[in-house]
Amino acid sequence: MGTSASKRVGRYLNKSAEFNSACDSVYDDCLSLAQHAFDGVKPYQLVSATERLHSKLSDSIPLVAKWVKSAPTRDQVDKAFKAIRSDSSDSEAVLGNSEFREFAAEVFADAIASGAGQAVRTRVPIGVVGIAGIGILVKPGREFIAAAIGAYTLGVTTSIYLSLDV
């Protein structure tokens, strides 16, 4: 399957006109809300900026609508900020427009991958229980049940992974 899900999603987001437009809009909003006191977005603004981005992206990007039901958490925001800024402990740090887009792609790629991962963790056990229950009733043999569970797990995982390729 190649690259990780979050990298594939990140590339998709960076190429998306809707994503870039939403980032520009929210970036400009952040500057306006701070009355242009800074040359970019300050770290304390990132959580509310991410909430506004989530609202805009939920309407225009199917991956966000499907896999990110609520705005990314503060932990996800902090993790994305640290991933793009090695000097993230700097309280005077500001993100310029391109860094803000990089941050947004990082946080939403992680949130989409997390949502898809949660779907795998939810769907696989339910299916496995169903297959095992049928196996108990029909008694086709352990090898057949193990193969069916393996095939089901692989199918669900592959299906969700491929759904991330828009």
Give the model's confidence band at 88: pLDDT under 50 very low, under 70 low, under 90 confident, else very high: low
Whether the CB-CB separation of 53 and 19 falls below 8 Å is answered with no
Can you give the pTM of this predicted structure?
Answer: 0.81
Q: Give the per-residue pLDDT at 2.
A: 47
Mean pLDDT on 13-24? 94
Whether the CB-CB separation of 41 and 81 falls below 8 Å is answered with no
Q: Which pLDDT tens digit goes with each residue over 95-135? A: 999 999 999 999 999 999 889 888 888 888 888 888 888 88
pLDDT tops 90 at residue 85: no
- Euclidean distance between the first and final Cα of the chain, in Å? 15
Mean of all residue pLDDT scores within the chain: 87
Q: Give the per-residue pLDDT at 56.
A: 95
pLDDT tops 80 at residue 4: no
Whether the CB-CB separation of 116 and 67 falls below 8 Å is answered with yes
Enter the tokens of residue 62.
Answer: 């199917």
Selected residue with higher pLDDT from 66 and 138:
66
Compute the half-sphere exposure of residue 71: CA atoms within 13 Å on the CB side of its CA. Answer: 14
Mean pLDDT on 140-147? 82
pLDDT tops 60 at residue 89: no
Mean pLDDT on 58-85? 92
- What share of the chain in percent tops pLDDT 70? 93
Whether the CB-CB separation of 76 and 67 falls below 8 Å is answered with no
Mean pLDDT on 151-162? 82
